[in-house]
Structure 1
């Protein structure tokens, strides 16, 4: 009876060791501590984001707004870290085992976060333009309707 239990325990320990060791190795290789910061350099670690980072660095927002200032919800600790983890795991999956993502277009969730952050930073004059009635389409206007290339010249 003890032999199967010992083999099962050994197999479990090996599996846990590989999982934890692989996680630590990946965290070190991927510069995990940098990824947990709000530094734009974290986003530039993935080769597919190099052009995005370079265009941001040349743009007018590089001196006062980084990636997370625009792309993650501000002022809500749980929403910020939940979405940071979600995006990090999603990007990690695509770049590690799933190939490159099909495109770098923002999801509806990201689009909403970016627009909310634009309106918050530029509240002195953005409130006059958001959902303006001069729009000829049935879609309401938002910041990205007119300012799509403001953060990244590549768009």
Structure 2
């Protein structure tokens, strides 16, 4: 076997190994689950279990999945761009162990959640609309940088939000 043939076989072997390793990584990381709107995809990483558990025991669990609050709903390009960006940031944080016991939402994530709160609840009922006019004047500077969850603190993730301090967090990953 000459040197050129050996290099060709070596290159084919390297590509095959890379493809097999890539497929294995996709399978083990459950990467395809992130293409869905299924809330259980959010608990592929154990650090998200407390957030899933608290949401699961909230009134929002019956009406809204994680993506309904945390991702743009206006178009698929924005939705999957945000999902990709968040997924990359989560992967880096989890891989490098740079997150604390309490996850913090990014400014972009907070903006998306705020917009979705307003979108879902803006025309909920006459009472709410009346309260929006009196207490939730979104177009004024009276609220400053306040967000819906400044007052509605326990919605939808409960009062305690940390990896090891959440009630009802009994191995949710294995119970779905």
Q: Normalising to structure 2: TM-score of the pair?
A: 0.72
CA offset digits 1:35-78 (Å, max 9, x no partner) = 21111100112111111111000011000001100000012110
Q: What is the count of residue pairs matched by the alignment?
A: 149
Cα distance change on mapping 1:62 and 1:21 into 2, 3 Å: same
* 1:20 positional shift: 2.4
Alpha-carbon distance in structure 2 between the residues aligned to 1:20 and 1:13: 11
Note closer, same or farther for the CA distance 1:15–1:99 as it changes in structure 2 (3 Å cut).
farther
Is 1:24 aligned with 2:23? yes
> Where in structure 1 are there 5+ consecutive unaligned residues?
none
* Structure 1 counterpart of 2:113: 114
- Larger RCO, structures 1/2 (Cα 8 Å, 6+ apart): 2
Partner-residue secondary structure (3-state), 1:74:
coil
What does residue 99 of structure 1 align with?
97
Aligned residue for 1:61, secondary structure, equals helix
CA 1:144–1:22: 2 relative to 1, 3 Å: same
**SS at structure 2 position matched to 1:104:** coil
CA distance in 2, matches of 1:74, 1:35: 16
1:3 aligns with 2:8: no
User: Partner of 1:146 in structure 2?
Assistant: 151
Call closer, same or farther: CA 1:140–1:48 in 2, change over 3 Å. closer
User: Relative to structure 1, is the Cα distance of residues 18 and 50 closer, same or farther in structure 2, using a 3 angstrom cutoff?
Assistant: same
Query: Shift of the alpha carbon at 1:14?
Result: 4.1
- Call closer, same or farther: CA 1:151–1:30 in 2, change over 3 Å: same
> Could you tell me whether the CA contact under 8 Å between 1:119 and 1:127 is conserved in 2?
no
Deviates more, 1:57-66 or 1:30-39: 30-39
Match for residue 36 of structure 1? Answer: 35
In structure 2, the CA distance between the partners of 1:11 and 1:107, relative to structure 1 (3 Å rule), is farther
- Displacement of 1:23 after TM fit? 1.9
